[in-house]
Amino acid sequence: MSDQLIECIPNFSEARRPDIVSQIIDKIKEVSNIHVLDFHSDEDHNRTVVTFVGPPAEVEEAAFQGIKIAAELIDLNNHTGSHPRLGATDVVPFVPIAGVSMKECISLCHHLAKRVGNELHIPVYLYEEAAKIPERKNLERIRKGEYELLKHEIQSNLARKPDFGPSKLSPAGAVIIGARNPLIAFNVYLDTDDVQKAKTIAHAIRESSGGLISVKALGMLVNGKAQVSMNLTNFHQTSILQVYETILSQAIKLKIRVHHSELVGLVPQEALMDTAIGFLKLDDFSGDQILEQRLNIIKLKSVKDELAILDEIASEEPSPGGGSSAALAGALASALVSMVARLTVSKKKYANVSAQMKEILHQSEKLRSQLTEFVHEDARAFEKVMAAFKLPKETDEQKTFRFKTIEETTLEATRVPMQVAQWSVTVLALCERVAAIGNINAITDAGSAGAMAMASIRSAGYNVKINLADLTDEVTIERLQIQINQIEQRAAKLEDQLLATIKERGGI
């Protein structure tokens, strides 16, 4: 899985026809590198919430495909449900999970919104962090009056002009797209069918009515019971336990009881841990006391997990590929240099070179860390290139943007293997030094390190040169060509020195 992860939680206005829900989910799953983690359908709401994760470009594509098929299969004119909605795909939030900033998430939202508007001809409103209009940060304001009111106002009321797409509704309605931090969808069912009591409690607890911070709430009837339906937008400010206890207190005032509660979709482990700590009044509790947490630490340190990159390289996916392998070879070369240095420092026989070996060890560990990072960075760079080639090119504006993006991402994809080659040349120089003064019993390990470093340099060079073929700036191409040639020439000289040193010390 990519080091860059975004979570997407689209809400589709359908739950009563499982065949349609399945078609939507299958369409999302068709996109490579997408992992559907969960989906939750509620027939009373007539709404399905899907949760999936993946790298940015693939997450955008999966969301687009979900919106597209939902528009084909769901007619809002024939839709009823207790949950407010504006479209077949009602809301599409993106949440940065790993290696992605909120700013990048916002950019993704704007790009997707433009695609949906231009290609699917569906009006799009941006909300939360992606909102272009401050008043639209709040989802409830955009959704006011739902599909039925928007049908009449979208053409006549300038305040309801979409951010992207036509000012006209089809049976697919409109889509609301945004970027936000993780939230918790939490529902509490009351032991009554009096929906007004649920609305009274919702009014008392939601932030917009002067209630709890970061809590959004509605009262509705679900499965014959009054339900307080909530989104907790920041569980650090208001926890699940605080919300639940407040509802209990409000229910007592109304002479009713809580029947049960539910979580919709996924929830951060920390949120449940905070709830348990608060309810049990645990003192000095730490996450390290959770058994599974400790087991995960062991798992992360396992050799199998460390070598998981090999399974990724061996897969049918084009990334990670040669560039990542080049970086991995360089990292292995650094690791072998570190091993020879440690085997030398620990022996009294080599006390006279101990200080030099400690310095070499310091350098090789720094190189190993950086080259290991390049394993993932090269894959990310290549994924951005692939995403650029998938950009639309129907209009002149799209063609210009696509060309510029391809040029920029290709240049970045050239920069990474160039750096790998540069760092691996430094590793190769260290190989010669440890071969010359290091533990004689590990001299062939120094040679092996040199062989890995050369493999890294040659492989990185291939990747630089293939990317140069896709660039158009002749000055840049010539500069990079000279740079990689100089690196390879220096590497060839260092390799000759290393082989001569090993032969001189009787290693081969």
Let me know if 376 is a catalytic residue.
Answer: no
Number of H helices, E strands in the chain: 16, 11
Handedness of CA 278, 282, 284, 288 (dihedral sign): negative
Pairing type for strands 175-179 and 124-128 reads parallel
Query: CB count, 10 Å around CB of 437?
Result: 17
Catalytic residue, chosen from 42, 90, 274, 378, is 378
What spatial distance separates the first Cα and last Cα of the chain, rounded to whole Å? 42
Quick one: the chain helix, strand, coil %, rounded to 5?
60, 15, 25
Instruction: Give dist(CA 491, CA 497) in Å, integer.
Output: 10
Is 83 one of the catalytic residues?
Answer: yes
Residue among 42, 83, 376, 445 flagged as catalytic: 83
- The sheet carrying 215-222 orders its strands as 215-222, 225-232, 184-190, 258-264
β-partners of residue 12 are 48, 89
Give Cβ neighbours of residue 15 (< 8 Å, ≥ 6 apart). 21, 41, 42, 43, 45, 46, 47, 48, 81
Asked if residue 208 lies in contact with residue 230, where contact means CB atoms within 8 angstroms, the answer is no
Annotated catalytic sites, by residue?
A: 83, 378
